[in-house]
Amino acid sequence: MFQETYMDGERPAPVLARFSARGPSSSYLGIAKPDIMAPGVLILAAFPPNIFSESIQNIKLSSDYELKSGTSMAAPHAAGIAAMLKGAHPEWSPSAIRSAMMTTANHLDSTQKPIREDDNMIATPLDMGAGHVDPNRALDPGLVYEATPQDYINLICSLNFTEEQFKTFARSSANYDNCSNPSADLNYPSFIALYPFSLEGNFTWLEQKFRRTLTNVGKGGATYKVKIETPKNSTVSVSPRTLVFKEKNDKQSYNLTIRYIGDSDQSRNFGSITWIEQNGNHTVRSPIVTSTIIEVWGSED
């Protein structure tokens, strides 16, 4: 079955596997999930030979290697790429590494069309995140969205937890008294704007504002211009539309406002924002999701 589906050599690649975990996150809707997709079908991997891996007509077989499929096969690819990036850029934080992997991921397949699921539906950012990870491009992302531990504390502060709950996440209560700057607007390489469900199907213009800061990890100064792919039934405005980085490690911020116009189908819609380097090769792409809040439909695999 896998051979027919995946190995005839003519289908576009990659394709999103049916079993791949879908977003949004059931634990927190305010950050779009998943982040990324990585190879997870028929992965050749070392296997404990003391566990029978196959049986043919009651004969149990074992092997040092196995072809395995699953989200648990994609996770080591993502972790390995993160480790490789840390090796190449020891100064990068975990958030910089995540940003590099997300903003350089491919959302198009080998035929330059949107990546599809194995049932032929187009894969959305709530299915595949930013796209299929590209380790070589992630080595040189141009710009990254950094987030410090304090930024995560500020996010947790915005969620009105008790001190007990807060300690579970923050591993310390020290910061609980320092929720002076609560913010749900984490400096994350993707955007999700949620709107209340309207039974009447009528809408006012609802607005959600984001602020993001980019750090230049390119070799020298660079200028980037924005390109916006607007989700259906919304408008997206970005200010400023040009970011000038004078030197390496320079930081520049922008505001992004999503206005929801309304959608009689109350569907989820998708877009993107890409910062494109002028006179250079870097493109820094983030997916945008707009959705009414209906229920948590994601699975956690």
Q: CB of 27: closest distance to ligand NAG in angstroms?
A: 13
For ligand NAG, which stretch binds (CB under 6 A), given 14-22, 84-92, 232-240, 243-251? Answer: 232-240
Q: Could you say whether residue 293 binds ligand NAG (CB under 6 A)? A: no
Q: How far is CA 36 from CA 76, 130, 292, in A?
A: 13, 5, 22
Q: Could you say whether residue 262 binds ligand NAG (CB under 6 A)? A: yes
The interface with ligand NAG within residues 264-283 (CB under 6 A) comprises 264, 280-281
**Residue 285 structure tokens:** 């792409």
Q: CB of 160: closest distance to ligand NAG in angstroms?
A: 4
Binding mask 121-140 for ligand NAG (x = CB under 6 A): --------------------
Q: How far is CA 34 from CA 26, 71, 80, 217, 274, in A?
A: 11, 12, 18, 24, 19
Distance CA 121, CA 258 (A): 26
The interface with ligand NAG within residues 165-224 (CB under 6 A) comprises 178, 180-181, 200, 202, 204, 211
- Calculate the CA 118 to chain-centre distance: 20
Total number of residues binding ligand NAG (CB under 6 A)?
21
Q: CB of 175: closest distance to ligand NAG in angstroms?
A: 7
The binder of ligand NAG chosen from 150, 173, 278, 299 (CB under 6 A): 150
Q: Which is nearer to ligand NAG, 62 or 267 (CB)?
A: 267
> What is the per-residue burial (b if ≥16 Cβ within 10 Å, else e) of 178-192?
eeeeeeebbbbbbbb
For residue 112, how many C-alpha atoms fall within 13 Å in the half-sphere facing its CB?
A: 0
Distance CA 160, CA 263 (A): 31
Question: Which spans of this chain sit near ligand NAG (rule: CB under 6 A)?
Answer: 150, 159-160, 178, 180-181, 200, 202, 204, 211, 232-233, 239-240, 255, 261-264, 280-281
